[in-house]
Amino acid sequence: MKSRLSDPRRRHLLLGCGALPLMAALPRPAHAQALPGTPAARQEPLGDEERAHHALKRLAYGPRPQDVQDIQRLGAARWLEGFLQAQLQPLPLPPALERRLAGLATWQESQGELGERFRRAQQLQREAKAAGPAASAADPGPGARRELVRPVLLEAQSQRLWRALESPAQLQERLVEFWFNHFNVYAGKNAVSVYAGAYEREAIRPHLLGRFRDMLGATAKHPAMLIYLDNHLSVAPGFQPRRANARSQGLNENYARELMELHTLGVDGGYTQADVTELARMLTGWTLDPRGLGRSRDLFVFDPRRHDHGEKQWLGQRIRASSPREGQAEGEQALDILARHPSTARHLSRKLAQFFVADEPPAALVERLAQVFLRSDGDLRQWTEALVQAPEFWSPAQWQAQFKTPYRYLLSALRAVNAQVDEPALLLPLLSQAGQPLYGWQTPDGYKSTAAAWRGPETLTQRVQFASSLAEGRLGRRWGADTRPQALLATLGPSLQAQTRAALQGESPSAQAALLLASPDFMQC
């Protein structure tokens, strides 16, 4: 009997146009009721090999062929024990990855140096505008401006993709994704374009397995967050700028609102609009020092002239009037209280469980995580370890029950074919087309991780097109991608249903690879 995909007309639809022929050709997961991402109904416990693959799909960006070879060599149970122990420890990067990162010229630039880049680009833009249209034809300014700013963001995006693909510290890369989304900044706003990578490097990565309070403070003081949510402009009533042509921006509540609603307490965390205003007053004077531009230094400074030193009532507490020396302490006190608040523990724990376990996480798991967070004073290593050890994480109901975001899908596909990506910039348009550009979410809530946010006909079509391009060598030929069907079958292992394997019969090798990478089984994890 001829395969449903052997007809050239159907293959054209599969490889060039849309997802529907492919989705019709492959079976839905046995537990799925409709589109991929529907929660599983499996009851029997996961076997050792399934547990190993579950860890690679949830705590990492999917298996590479070498991972599967190690599982076979060591045995699944032994391999999994070593993997889980290693993921919560500092892990050295492979020399090849170290060399890649060392080749990124702007990656280690200080906040002051990055800020000077942006200042010079703005100056060139103003000069070109003042010169008028007649001078623009011979003006090298646009190219010069692009070369000042564009490489910074591109290199930041490149390091993120390289690490996610190649770093053995896969859980920490997943945590980078989680925490950057939690403390989201948008690279399209003003100077955030040059600070977004430094923000990840300085405010997120050092604290992944540290204390939440330290990460909270680092994000609050970073230029990326100060500019993105405008707190660098927020001043006390009556503040008079020293420059004659400058005008006061007044009190700005943007950061104070998101600090409570998104970063800590949650929208139902028990605060009022009056608390937002009072917190904004407490955070006046947290700004940037322009004298640091061009220097190897951080730019955060507390300016007592900008601070509202008056008495405040916040979250039911009286915050007494402060002296100029004490003004910054008000903001620090606020961060202390927010970091240790029970509502913060519950809000963060639900987000963590949603990201790693289920779109609707079990209430008992959320409560246990919240208690670990509170008992450990926000120790993120203990908190993450509690998630990894939770029986809910290993529940058979969670097997193949999450729908991959575009970011996870792209990375897992490249890891599955063992691609050695030497030009991450080629991947950026793919993420943008799929709706998840790196550092590109405009609003402070960050990218969603739930199936409802991503599954739909357009998503499926894009994934079929990518899978076809990768399988046929139009993508990744120079990256050494191994798209042989037998290699993919071995790498994906127990994640593939028998029906999916059977659907490959009679197809060409490239069509088989495309079917595997665009199958409902592979879109889930």
| Confidence check: pLDDT of 418 > 60 | yes
Confidence band for 7, pLDDT divided at 50, 70 and 90: very low
DSSP 8-state symbol, 29: P
Contact 284, 308 (CB under 8 A): yes
| Confidence check: pLDDT of 17 > 90 | no
Report angle CA 364, 365, 367 to the nearest 5 degrees.
65
Residue type at 311 in one-letter notation: E
Among candidate residues 205, 223, 202, the one with its CA nearest the CA of residue 292:
223
DSSP 8-state symbol, 337: H
pLDDT, tens digit, for every residue of 114-156?
A: 999 999 999 998 888 888 765 555 555 556 667 889 999 999 9
Give the residues across from 302 on adjacent strands: 286
How many CB atoms within 10 Å of residue 81? 13
d(CA 451, CA 220): 30
Say what the pLDDT of residue 41 is.
59
3-state helix, strand, coil in the chain (%, to 5): 60, 5, 40
The whole-number average pLDDT for the span 79-89 is 97
User: Residues 338, 341, 345, 346: is their CA dihedral positive or negative?
Assistant: negative
Say what the pLDDT of residue 142 is.
59
Residue 114 phi/psi, 5-degree rounding, is: -65, -40
Residue 431's Cβ-count burial label (10 Å; 0-12, 13-18, 19+) is buried
Residue with tokens 């900044």: 185
The rounded percent of the chain whose pLDDT value lies above 90 is 81
288 membership: H or E segment, kind and range: strand 286-288
| Confidence check: pLDDT of 38 > 60 | no
d(CA 241, CA 246): 6
Task: Find the radius of gyration of the CA atoms of the chain.
Answer: 25
CA neighbours within 13 Å on the CB side: how many for 99?
4
How would DSSP label each residue in 219-267? Answer: HHHSHHHHHHTTGGG---TT---SSTT--------HHHHHIIIIISS-T
Domain borders along the chain are 8-87+401-435+452-523, 88-228, 230-239+246-339, 342-398
Contact 363, 318 (CB under 8 A): no
Q: What is the dihedral of CA 441, 443, 444, 445, to 10 degrees?
A: -80
Say what the pLDDT of residue 245 is.
52
Highest mean pLDDT among 26-35, 246-255, 501-510: 501-510
Residue 514 phi/psi, 5-degree rounding, is: -65, -40
| Confidence check: pLDDT of 500 > 70 | yes
Residue 38: C-alpha distances to residues 8, 57, 441, 514, 521 (Å): 32, 17, 26, 23, 12
Contact 331, 282 (CB under 8 A): yes
The residue with greater pLDDT, 31 or 262, is 262
Instruction: Please state the pTM of the whole predicted model.
Output: 0.92
pLDDT, tens digit, for every residue of 203-242?
A: 999 999 999 999 999 999 999 999 999 999 999 988 877 7
The whole-number average pLDDT for the span 404-430 is 96
| Confidence check: pLDDT of 459 > 90 | no
Among candidate residues 482, 504, 511, 500, the one with its CA nearest the CA of residue 416:
482
SS3 211: strand
Contact 361, 350 (CB under 8 A): yes
SS3 42: coil
Among candidate residues 104, 205, 109, 216, the one with its CA nearest the CA of residue 164:
205
> For the chain, how many residues are written?
525
Say what the pLDDT of residue 130 is.
84
371 membership: H or E segment, kind and range: helix 363-375
Say what the pLDDT of residue 128 is.
81
d(CA 307, CA 25): 64
d(CA 490, CA 511): 17
d(CA 208, CA 91): 13
* Structure-token pair, residue 274: 């009056």
User: Residues 463, 464, 470, 471: is their CA dihedral positive or negative?
Assistant: positive
Write down the mean pLDDT value for the chain.
Answer: 90
Say what the pLDDT of residue 239 is.
85
Strand-pair category, 317-319 with 300-302: unpaired
Contact 399, 40 (CB under 8 A): yes
pLDDT, tens digit, for every residue of 295-336?
A: 999 999 999 999 999 999 999 999 999 998 899 999 999 999
Say what the pLDDT of residue 32 is.
38
Among candidate residues 189, 278, 285, 267, the one with its CA nearest the CA of residue 231:
285
d(CA 178, CA 352): 8
Contact 313, 278 (CB under 8 A): yes
E strands, 289-398, are 300-302, 312-314, 317-319
* Structure-token pair, residue 501: 């394997």
pLDDT, tens digit, for every residue of 464-498?
A: 999 999 999 888 677 889 999 999 999 999 999 99
* Structure-token pair, residue 60: 């990492």
